[in-house]
Amino acid sequence: MIATFRFIKHGDFTDTLNLARRFLKDPENLTHKAAGWMLLAVYVKGIT
């Protein structure tokens, strides 16, 4: 999940959004935290 940050910096959100969707039902809370962090990065990059 964190590896997609490079794509986010270049304006490509597809991989991040697909992984976040896949991790919705993951029982590990750290996976949710990482997904949330990357979704926030997508939101911030999308606004600017």
Q: What is the pLDDT of residue 48?
A: 67
Q: Distance between CA 30 and CA 9 in Å, rounded?
A: 22
pTM score, whole prediction: 0.85
Q: Distance between CA 26 and CA 5 in Å, rounded?
A: 20
Q: What is the pLDDT of residue 41?
A: 96
Q: Distance between CA 43 and CA 27 in Å, rounded?
A: 24
Spatial neighbors of 38 by CB under 8 A, at least 6 apart, are 1, 2, 4, 5, 8, 16, 19, 20
Query: pLDDT tens, 2-47?
Result: 999 999 999 999 999 999 999 999 999 999 999 999 999 999 998 7
Instruction: Identify whether the C-beta of residue 37 lies closer than 8 Å to the C-beta of residue 20.
Output: no
